[in-house]
Chains A and B, each alone.
Chain A
Amino acid sequence: MSTNGSGNGVDRKYKWVGTRPIRHDGVDKVTGKANFGADLSFPDMLWGKMLRSPHAHALIKRIDASKALAIDGVKVVATGADLPDLASAETEGGEGGGNMRDLAHNVMARDKALYHGHAVAAVAALTPELADQALAAIEVEYEVLKPVLSIEEALAPNAPILHRDLRTKGVKDSGPTNVAARIPFVKGDVAKGFSEAEHVVERTYRTQTVHQGYIEPHAVVARTNPDGQSVVWCCTQGAFVVRAYCAAVLGLELSQLKVIPSEIGGGFGGKTTVYTEPIAVLLSRKSGRPVKMVMSREEVFRATGPAGAAKVEVKLGAKRDGTLVAAQARLWYEAGGFPGSPFGAGSMTVFAPYDVPNISIEGFDVVVNKPKTAAYRAPGAPQSAFATEQALDELARELKLDPIELRLKNAAKEGTQAAYGAKFARIGFVETLEAAKKHPHYRAPLGPNQGRGIASGFWFNVGMQSSAEVHLAEDGTATVITGNPDIGGSRASMAICVAEELGIDVTKVRPVVGDTETAGYCDLTGGSRVTFATGLAAIEASRDIAQQLRERAAKIWGSDVAKVEFVDGRCQPAKGSGLDHAPLSVADIAKQMARTGGPINGRAQVNPRGAGPGFATHLCDVQVDPDTGRVDVLRYTAIQDAGRAVHPSYVEGQMQGGASQGIGWALNEEYVFDQNGVLENAGFLDYRMPVASDLPMIDTVVIEVPNPGHPYGVRGVGETPIVAPLAAVANAIHAATGKRMTELPISPPRLLAALQQ
């Protein structure tokens, strides 16, 4: 056994964990050499394009592609008829599970288009221009239906029904409906709790559909060999998931597909599923040639998965001293054209940061004629926290309590049982609140029309499956191979874990992102899991190497392996072993690998428990222009428990990125649909995300309350930072104006209207 590293790492002195080495892929990325999804081309390649529905809700009566196929240079056309008809069934699994029929029908519509932009046919041609001509020549006969464009429309009596066979999961005999599921959570007796409350606040909050806004559109190249083997190059958060989904949609065996992930220009959850990837494979299989498909920005907006709009009713009851005695929520999440909104996670997170004895929660998954939603950083939690954290702010004001003190009084701690059942282990929520209270930002003076808001956020974090291999080179340097595309600096994290365990310089460790044939299985880069779970695999693979190094040293010394210990990158005689040898470094032993038994490779695969939850508290100062309703964020501080920051720069980057996206969600971002369900702002000029000049420097405070479930104490950090900003901004606006803004975005027209009331 390796002797360096055990327990949760509280007492361990780290050499590399907590340092900030330059990321190994940094030079490639800043010099433009890194290969992203659209960078790959082949000489005999065809260009694939999708024909998309011009209607938000329509029956597809007929598709005639004969005129398209008659165009010289147009090679193949594909429609839903080319794909197997899958049975509707939930498949097992975490991120790899889901309803494959819905996935397949989202990739390519069959008898019904469910949103404007839904793919109905695809072509492959010699040039992009010819592909466009072919799309224009395809004749599709639609029977246009009335679209369902909001939760209220979906729930209305006599609402158009999107799926005739849809019934409400969790409700007996619901009949045809647009509500795909209902889930309740109950703790204590909420009626009794409210009867004991001395003060109650209650409001309804609404958020709009927003996009992750990753800078790189989806891109894929698929090539199929005559033996039926297809290779897929694409930008994705998970090559193994692309392989599984493509195989399911196309009816192939996993061994018929190899998926090679490119570098990825952002995902934030939006690249955890497939859109054009199976169709590129299909077109490639039909044509026998490589097929490249690159989405336009407009297609990304119209046809990939955003975070859905939500309506959240929250009611809080408290004693006069601020002690929460009851909390009630009803949450409706738009799922888009197919079931699958994050209504469950939204329901589970809505009161999770607080220890409330009596809770009632009811969540609903609602289908509407909008793009099928996908994951977006802490899916479901920003919407629910927008409601709860504003309700707490209102409660604090009405009870004349400091909003941080109110949260501290009710904060979840180790042993608190959330309404969804789980009891928290050691968590750092209180520490984030204490840090906020002490931060100079919290007491800094404010000027006219300025206000300060605070809000907190929670995300579960997950573990899931990961694999890692570490290969030792003959000069003592190492390579670590995992199957997780690097979005937020995970190569550096993997290298740091290996350097820490083997006691070698982090620049001597080369981190590699493998494909589905060169890396062991890894679930998605998502769920704030890579540094936690894949890092754990890298640690265990390194410890496998350390064990082999001890065996080699024992062989060299002619001793028993039990008399050799591995400390700080060296094999040395164990205390009391009676051995008298100079220590051997990793490089010393690596030089002798061939003579002592051959290559030294470490391997580990994990599906770990113990992904510690993440908590954050954010402070936000805004200035409101009373004449225009414009809001400027003047100062922003994000405070988060990272457990242990393996590479603090990338932890801070996650916190700043999440805060920036949350500020955009709060102030400007929304999908604007016309009455026919046509998205009117499918581009970055009209869909306004904040850019660097819109934001102040976002200050970060990294709290480290070690996670007992990880040898270094690591917690996931990628998602928690987007949960608090929506309410932090809204609370700041309330402080500046006295207006409680319950609907997002708090854009100038909406705020001006409120100010003029």
Chain B
Amino acid sequence: MAIVLIPPAMRALTGAERVTLAAANVRALLGALETRYPGFADALGPRFAVSIDGEIRSDADYDPLADGSEVAFLPPLAGG
């Protein structure tokens, strides 16, 4: 089960700061979030980064999630 830290702007959808979901990877997790909280994907938008156990990634759709992985959705990050 992955632990998802819900961005404050989306807590109205989830009603919680953290939710726990079963998912093998980030893409599956997003699917599960959308199923449980319709509108989650739209609210997140197409551009975001993901922190998995503290490691920040863009393009993380198929990154595997271990049992207990902590996932946070962040604004897209790049740099100069």
**What residues of chain A have their CB less than 8 Å away from a CB belonging to chain B?**
90-95, 97-98, 169-170, 182-186, 212, 267-270, 272, 344-345, 348, 375-379, 420-425, 459-465, 524, 526-529, 607, 609-611, 709, 716, 718-719
- Shortest CB–CB separation between residue B10 and chain A, in angstroms? 9
Q: A183-B75, A379-B78 are in contact. Are A94 and B59 (CB under 8 A)?
A: yes
| A529/B55 in contact, CB under 8 A | no
B residues contacting A by CB (< 8 A) are 5, 7-9, 17, 45-47, 49, 51-59, 63, 70, 72-80
Q: Which A residues are in CB contact (< 8 Å) with B47?
A: 90-94, 97-98
Determine if A184 and B8 form an interchain contact, defined as CB atoms under 8 angstroms apart: yes
| B73 CB to nearest A CB, Å | 8
User: Which of A183, A267, A421 has most B Cβ within 10 Å?
Assistant: A421
Given that A379-B78, A527-B79 are contacting pairs, would A97 and B55 also be in contact in the complex, using a CB cutoff of 8 Å? no
B5, B8, B51, most chain A CB atoms within 10 A: B8
> Which residue of A379, A420, A709 is within 8 Å of B74 (Cβ)?
A420
**Complex alpha-carbon distance, A267 and B80, angstroms:** 8
Select from chain A the residue with minimum beta-carbon distance to B51.
A422
Is B79 in contact with A462, judged by CB distance below 8 angstroms?
Answer: yes
* B9 / chain A contacts, CB cutoff of 8 Å: 170, 182-184
* B8 and A186 form a contact (CB under 8 A): yes
A-B contacts, 18 of them at CB < 8 A, read: A93-B58, A94-B49, A98-B47, A182-B9, A184-B7, A184-B8, A269-B80, A344-B76, A375-B79, A378-B79, A378-B80, A421-B5, A460-B56, A462-B58, A462-B79, A609-B55, A610-B55, A718-B79
- Please give 4 more A-B residue pairs, beta carbons under 8 A apart, in addition to A91-B47, A421-B5: A267-B80, A462-B77, A607-B59, A609-B55
In the bound complex, how far is the Cα of B53 from the Cα of A345, in angstroms? Answer: 19
A272 touches B51 (CB 8 A): no
Name the residue on B nearest A423 (C-beta): B54
Contact A421 B51 (CB under 8 A): yes
Q: Are B75 and A348 in contact (CB under 8 A)?
A: yes
Q: Are A345 and B52 also in contact (CB < 8 A) when A94-B59, A185-B8 are?
A: no
Task: A94 to B55: give the CA distance in the assembly, Å.
Answer: 15
For A375, the chain B residues whose CB sits under 8 A away are 78-80
Tell me whether A719 and B72 are in contact (CB under 8 A): no
A94 touches B74 (CB 8 A): no
- In the complex the two chains form, what is the Cα distance from A524 to B78 in whole Å? 9
CA distance A218 to B53 in the complex (A): 40
Residues of B within 8 A of A461 (CB): 79
C-alpha gap A181/B59 in the complex (Å): 22
**What chain B residues lie within 8 Å of A462 (beta carbons)?**
56, 58, 77-79
In contact, A345 and B75 (Cβ under 8 angstroms):
yes
Residues of A close to B54: CB separation below 8 A: 422-425
Chain A: minimal CB distance from B46 (Å): 5
Q: Which residue of the partner chain A has the closest CB to B76?
A: A94
Q: How far is the CB of B40 from chain A (nearest CB, A)?
A: 14
Indicate which residue in B5, B51, B55, B58 contacts A464 across the interface (CB closer than 8 Å): B58
Interchain CB contact under 8 A, A526 and B72: no
Smallest CB separation, A193 vs chain B (Å): 16
- Pick the contact of A272: B7, B57, B76, B78 (CB < 8 A): B78
A421 touches B79 (CB 8 A): no
Tell me if B79 and A709 are in contact (CB < 8 A).
no
Residue numbers in A under 8 Å from B46 (CB-CB) = 90-92, 97
Contact B74 A423 (CB under 8 A): no
Do A268 and B80 contact each other (CB < 8 Å), given the known contacts A92-B46, A183-B9, A186-B8? yes
Q: What is the chain A residue whose CB lies nearest that of B79? A: A527
B49 and chain A: residue at smallest CB distance: A94
B76 and A422 within 8 A (CB): no
Bound Cα distance A718, B78 (Å): 13
* Whole-angstrom CA separation of A170 from B13 in the bound complex: 13
| Docked-complex contact A709 and B55, CB < 8 angstroms | yes
Distance of B15 from chain A, by nearest CB (Å): 15
**Bound-complex Cα distance A236 to B43 (A):** 33
Pair A609/B77 contact, Cβ less than 8 Å: no
CA A529 to CA B54, docked complex, whole Å? 17
Residue pair A425, B78 in contact (C-beta under 8 Å): no
A709 to B56: give the CA distance in the assembly, Å. Answer: 11
Q: Shortest Cβ distance from A326 into chain B, in angstroms?
A: 16
Smallest CB separation, B43 vs chain A (Å): 9
User: Would you call B57 and A463 a contact (CB within 8 A)?
Assistant: yes
- Determine if B78 and A95 form an interchain contact, defined as CB atoms under 8 angstroms apart: yes
Contacts of B78 in A (CB 8 A): 94-95, 272, 375, 379, 462, 524, 526-527
Contact A526 B80 (CB under 8 A): yes
Say whether A527 contacts B80, CB under 8 Å.
yes
Contact B79 A423 (CB under 8 A): no
Instruction: Report yes or no: B80 in contact with A94, Cβ–Cβ below 8 A.
Output: no
Docked complex Cα distance between A242 and B46 (Å): 21
B residues less than 8 Å from A268 (CB atoms) = 80
Q: What's the minimum C-beta distance from B18 to chain A, rounded to whole angstroms? A: 10
Q: B8, B52, B80: which has the most chain A beta carbons within 10 Å?
A: B80
Q: Are B70 and A423 in contact (CB under 8 A)?
A: yes
A154 to chain B, nearest CB (A): 20
User: Closest approach, in angstroms, between the C-beta of A473 and any C-beta of chain B?
Assistant: 34
In the complex, what residues of A have CB within 8 A of residue B5's CB?
421
Closest to A97 in B: B47
Q: How far apart are B39's CB and chain A's nearest CB, in angstroms? A: 12
**In whole angstroms, how far apart are the Cα atoms of A460 and B5 in the complex?**
19
Q: How far is the CA of A752 from the CA of B74 in the complex (A)?
A: 42
Tell me, rounded to whole Å, the shortest Cβ–Cβ distance linking B2 to chain A: 13
Please name all residues of chain B whose beta carbon is closer than 8 Å to the beta carbon of A94 when the two chains form the complex. Answer: 47, 49, 58-59, 76-78
Bound complex: CA of A90 vs CA of B54, how far in Å? 26
Q: Give CA–CA (A718, B80) in the complex, Å.
A: 8
CB distance from B54 to the nearest CB of A (A): 4
For the complex, give the distance between the alpha carbons of A204 and B63 in Å: 41
B30 to chain A, nearest CB (A): 13
Distance in Å: Cβ of B66 to nearest Cβ of chain A? 13
Counting from the closest, the 10 A-B pairs by CB-CB distance are: A269-B80, A421-B72, A527-B79, A344-B75, A94-B58, A422-B51, A375-B80, A423-B54, A377-B80, A184-B8
Question: Which of A422, A423, A609 contacts B63 (CB under 8 A)?
Answer: A609
Max chain A CB contacts within 10 Å: which of B45, B59, B63, B72? B59
CA distance A169 to B45 in the complex (A): 10
Q: Which residue of chain B is the closest to A609 with respect to CB atoms? A: B55
Which residue of A is nearest B72, CB measured?
A: A421
Residues on the B chain within 8 Å of A183, using CB: 7, 9, 75
**Which residues of B lie under 8 Å from residue A269 when comparing CB positions?**
79-80
Nearest CB of A to B69, in Å:
11
